[in-house]
Amino acid sequence: MPEGHTVHRVARQLAQDLVGRRLAVSSPQGRFAAGAARIDGQVLVSADAVGKHLFCTFESGDVLRVHLGLYGAWDFFGSLTPLTPGGFAVGSMGAPRLRRAVRMGEGEQERAIGEAFPPEPVGQVRVRLASEDTVADLRGPAACEVLDPDGAAAVIARLGPDPASTDDLAAAGEVMVARLTSRNVAVGQLLMDQSVVAGIGNIYRAELLFRARLDPHTPGRRVPADVARALWDDWAVLLAEGIRAGAIVTREDADPDERFWVYHRTGLPCRVSGTPVVVEQMAGRALYWCPVCQV
């Protein structure tokens, strides 16, 4: 499942290349025809991420909310602005002659496509946002709906704090600490609860817990406040780096193939203790952890 850093990168790509433009909005697949018609022809005012939710606000106040779920992804075509200088999201040279597209989902990748612009929709495209120069195609989301401002605010109110969506990192962290330490639920489950803290998925959960040397079965009420606060601080750092790099990296200066401490390393020796990494199901997902380091 795409985690918080991916959704923030999608929001930033939309903000750079589609915000401020009047968009043609359609549903090539047909499943979102009514919602697309409601915002078609409007100017996109803003694109923001909170946790794993994307909120695209249009001039009428209507908000397109998207949650990618397990399989959703955005495909961008046309004139694209790199999110970082020298990045690979290179757009057209002499638009609209398309050179490259960027897929922003669980794994970002470049892929060559044809020269025609706008490209014909390929596969089950739920919604297409199109300006004269840039197209964004959404496919496979878990949620895609148009809300009024109150509806969008209600969704956000149900979410926990997101380090990349707040102006007061310390205050937001205290909200997360209070919610986590007041529950008699395993911390490994609480970190996946989007009402406790927003944006953490399966990879970040495993890596944050290992970096904190915290047993994932520890009830939230038994997690010291300073440890919970350290989890928040670490999450803020890892999220910012994920947004910058476009990838989850939790081992600094490690080779790309060695970027995780425990995630997806079942049976392999822990990088610290040498004990085999174990995996179990928690909160409906596979949890990787070291039974020696995380005690």
Angle, helices 4-17/225-245, rounded to nearest 10 degrees: 40
Residue 199 CA to residue 263 CA, distance in Å, equals: 17
| Residue 189 falls in which region: left (phi positive, over 0), alpha (psi -120 to 50) or beta | alpha
Of 156, 140, 63, 146, nearest to 105 by C-alpha is 140
The residues near 239 (Cβ < 8 Å, ≥ 6 apart) are 4, 5, 8, 162, 163, 164, 199, 204
User: Is the distance from CB of 204 to CB of 162 less than 8 angstroms?
Assistant: no
**Is cis: bond before 219, omega within 30 of 0?**
no
Residue 177 CA to residue 202 CA, distance in Å, equals: 20
Residue 66 CA to residue 7 CA, distance in Å, equals: 9
Q: Which residues have a catalytic role annotated? A: 2-3, 52, 285
Per DSSP, the three-state class of 65 is strand
